[in-house]
Amino acid sequence: MNMPSSDVLPDTTVAALRSTVDSAFPQTIEELKSLVAIPGVAWAAFDPAELDRSAEAVASLVRSTGMEDVRILRMDNNGTPGGPAVVAQRPAAAGKPTILLYAHHDVQPPGERDLWESDPFIAEEREGRLYGRGAADDKAGIMAHIAAVRAVSEVLGEDLGLGITLFIEGEEEAGSPTFRSFLEEHRELLRSDVIVVADSSNWKVGVPALTTSLRGLVDGVIEVRVLEHAVHSGMFGGPVLDAPTLLARLIATLHDDDGSVAIQGLVSNDDADVDYAEADYRADASVLDGVQLAGTGSLASRLWTKPALSIIGIDAPGVAVSSNTLLPTARAKFSLRLAPGQEPQKAMAAVERHVRSHAPFGATVMFTPGESGNPFSTDTTRPAAQIALWALQTAWGTQAVEAGIGGSIPFIADLTEVYPEAQILVTGVEDPDSRAHSANESLHLGEFNRAVLAEALMLARLNAGG
């Protein structure tokens, strides 16, 4: 790929930014540790005061960059306050663009404490990684923004005319329920020419990536009904199959024998530009020896440009409390990742058609649609993407991968709809071993340093006019 020239950013500026980021890095890590110590979870079962404390801590850090217009804002969510978002602005000088830097300060619940090797809310350094809930997802994204803004402000001084808006959301891990209404309410406040979403991952340790596509998402609940009420399995079992068995038979129709999604009408492409070595995938996903991989085509396409369907929950009595009865109903929740180009509404309708038409033994099938989110893809030939690729290459010393991500960030679709003129870049501080959302979440500190430098370089290039 032809990378953009660095002529508009002198080597002395690049060197100064690198030195400034390195000098401030110990402080950056200590501040990240202080954020990890705040258990701000935007779920109803958790103390909302911790989420407020998290927002206040972020606002204080943002003020330390020299930005004076710092606000904590929230929207109403059907009578319940939404998560507190931190928004700060540095106005653009005449003729300069404005860049919006997004991250989120809320985190996933810690899960079972016994699975963690250290306290999830006491950040601990071990073998070059920082462990703790939110250390990677996404408090490192916050600190990458703050450290980059500090560095570029120190190096460029009065020459920094770039407009900068920081938008640190407080409910992303809860599904961003008020995100769209927040954008609509604060449309002009957040308007920008370039949007950087620091909530993704790099290719691997030592190789950066610009996320160029994300799969969309639909989910819902499938319920199978076969009896009006439970009956004795000995007295009545045989002529009629219980609901969990019929549900299992229905679930089995969702995939072909090779593991490909069998639902008709879904977009599916085998056109990923780079591949993912099977050995790397098995290691990264902790696949057990002997387990065959599902689907067809390249691994990258199976992860990025093809649909993937999982059953993520089943309602049935646990083994310890089971009894000898034929169960009348059983429910399962599905999660379907959508290929770029897929409309979520059409995908949801396709799933419903499939399960109703494959009702086993005439059982009644109920379908309840759930959440949905659009896929995303970006044009890397546009100027901001080219600048981002140059910055990643310069910071890492190796060419960046243009990578898809199998996961979904549904709110990006809202950004593209509200700000169609903005260039959206999805960057990240994670690597395949970060284990975001899982126990022992961690951040590779060397990669984090390079991520901060890359963002500082990108801001400096945008300030210089690309």
- Give the length of the chain: 466
- Nearest in space to 164 (alpha carbons), one of 188, 185, 145: 145
Neighbours of 269 (CB within 10 A): 14
The residues, any chain, with a CB within 8 Å of residue 68's CB and separated by 6 or more, are none
Q: Which two tokens stand for residue 139?
A: 């408090």
| Distance (Å, whole) CA 359 – CA 361 | 7
| Greatest distance between any 2 Cα atoms in the chain | 85
- At residue 5, what are phi and psi to the nearest 5 degrees? -70, 150
Give me the phi and psi of 418, to 5 degrees please: -75, -35
Identified catalytic residue from 52, 137, 172, 173: 172
Give yes or no: 172 in active site: yes
Helical H segments across 409-466, by residue range:
411-418, 445-464
Sign, CA dihedral 290-295-300-306, equals negative
- CA 256, CA 288: separation in Å to the nearest integer? 22
Separation CA 250–CA 370 (nearest Å): 19
**242-314-254 Cα angle (round to 5):** 80
**DSSP label at residue 397:** S
DSSP state of 173: G
The secondary structure of the chain in percent helix, strand, coil, rounded to multiples of 5, reads 35, 25, 40
Residues forming a β-bridge with 77:
80
Q: What are the φ and ψ backbone dihedral angles of 79, each rounded to 5 degrees?
A: 90, -10
Residue 175 Ramachandran class (φ > 0 left, ψ -120 to 50 alpha, else beta): left
Backbone angles phi, psi at 308, to 5 degrees: -140, 130
CB-neighbour burial class of residue 74 (10 A; exposed 0-12, middle 13-18, buried 19+) = middle
- Residue 264 sits at φ, ψ, to 5 deg, of -75, 145
Known catalytic membership, residue 455: no
Q: How far lies 131's CA from each of 116, 213, 432, 437, in Å?
A: 9, 28, 14, 12
Q: Using the structure block, give the residue that is written with the tokens 């993937």.
A: 308
List the catalytic residue out of 52, 106, 138, 173: 106
Q: Give the active site residues.
A: 106, 172
